[in-house]
Structure 1
Amino acid sequence: MSGTRAARLAPVVEMAARAEREAARMLGRCQGQVTQAEMKLGELERYRGDYQQQWIEEGKRGVSGQWLMNYQRFLSQLESAIGQQAQSVKWHRDNLDKARAAWQQRHARLEGLRKLVQRYLDEARAIEDKREQKLLDELVQRMPGRGEG
């Protein structure tokens, strides 16, 4: 009986395994998006650092008012882009956290189902072992020379 319970759960386990694999794929995609967003943010911050270094170098030689205005305008745009990219990184990290939680939930469900199936199989094996032992005991009792005293 327990063996058939395990067999009946096989499609449920397969569905849970598919859901867990899909959640793992989504987790991987989200991790890739976080990595890309962080790389882009790093590039923007490095570019800002380079641009600020250029300001220091140019400032030593003296700059025109027009150059200073252009520098400040561009730096402002760059700061805005960095802020937007930082928000993008946060958004992607939040998505990653949600994807991780979804995968953990599906993984835990799959493991729970697998343990239940194993328990059913163990129960079926124990019942079968008892049945075989009972048959062996009956055969031994029926053997000639046994039970006569």
Structure 2
Amino acid sequence: MAQSRAARLVPVVDMAEKAEREAARMLGRCQTQLGQVENQLNELHRYRGDYQKQLVNQGQQGVSGQWLINYQRFLSQLETAVAQQQRNVDFHRENLRKARDAWQACYTRLEGLRKLVQRYIEEARAADEKREQKQLDELAARLAARRTD
């Protein structure tokens, strides 16, 4: 009886394994995407730092008003790009958190199902052993009864 319960759960476990693998793949994709957008943000920060150093270097040699206006305009655009990329990073971090939570839920469900199947198998084994022991006891009792006759 318990063995058949375990056998009935095999398709459910298979589906849970498939869902867990898909959630793990999604988690991996989200981690990769986050890494890419973080790298892009770091590049923007590096570029902004380099560009700001250019002002210092250029400023020591003297700059025109027009150069300074263009510099400020470009720096403003660069700041906008940094802020937009930061929002992109935040978005991907949230996606990663959701993907990790989804994978964790799938994994927990899968492990619970595996434990349940194992428990059913152990119950079936114990029931089989109990049934065998009962049969052996009955056989021993019959043999003992025949010897006394």
Q: Could you state the TM-score of these two structures normalised by the residue count of structure 2?
A: 0.95
* Whole-angstrom distance in 1 between the partners of 2:7 and 2:39: 48
What is the alpha-carbon distance in structure 2 between the residues aligned to residue 132 and residue 51 of structure 1? Answer: 83
- Map 1:78-89 → 2, pairs under 5 A: 78-89=78-89
Q: How far off its partner does 1:145 sit?
A: 8.4
Contact 1:140 1:146 in 2 (8 A): no
Query: Does structure 1 residue 65 correspond to structure 2 residue 71?
Result: no
CA distance in structure 1 between the aligned counterparts of 2:51 and 2:144, rounded to whole angstroms: 102
Displacement, 1:142?
A: 3.1
CA distance in 1, matches of 2:144, 2:36: 81
Distance change in 2, residues 1:146/1:71 (3 Å): farther
Q: Which residue of 1 aligns with 2:21?
A: 21
From the two aligned structures, give the one with the greater helix fraction.
2
- Kindly report the root-mean-square deviation, in angstroms, between the aligned alpha carbons of the 2 structures: 1.6
Aligned partner of residue 5 in structure 1, secondary structure: helix
Number of matched residues?
149
- TM-superposed deviation, 1:62: 0.7
Report what 2:130 is aligned to: 130
Distance 1:17 1:41 in 2: 36
In 2, Cα distance between equivalents of 1:65 and 1:105: 60
Identity %: 65
Q: Residue 6 of structure 2 aligns to which amino acid in structure 1? A: A
Is 1:110 the counterpart of 2:101 in the alignment?
Answer: no
**Distance in 2 between residues matched to 1:73 and 1:88, nearest whole Å:** 23
Tell me, yes or no, if structure 1 residue 36 matches structure 2 residue 36: yes
Query: Following TM superposition, by how much is the alpha carbon of 1:34 offset from its aligned partner in structure 2, in angstroms?
Result: 0.5
C-alpha deviation, 1:66, in angstroms? 1.1
SS of alignment partner, residue 148 of structure 2: coil
Give the gaps of 5 or more residues in structure 1.
none
How big is the shift at 1:140?
2.3
Q: 1:75 offset after TM fit, Å?
A: 0.4
Displaced runs of 4 or more, over 6 A? none
Q: TM-score, normalised by structure 1?
A: 0.95
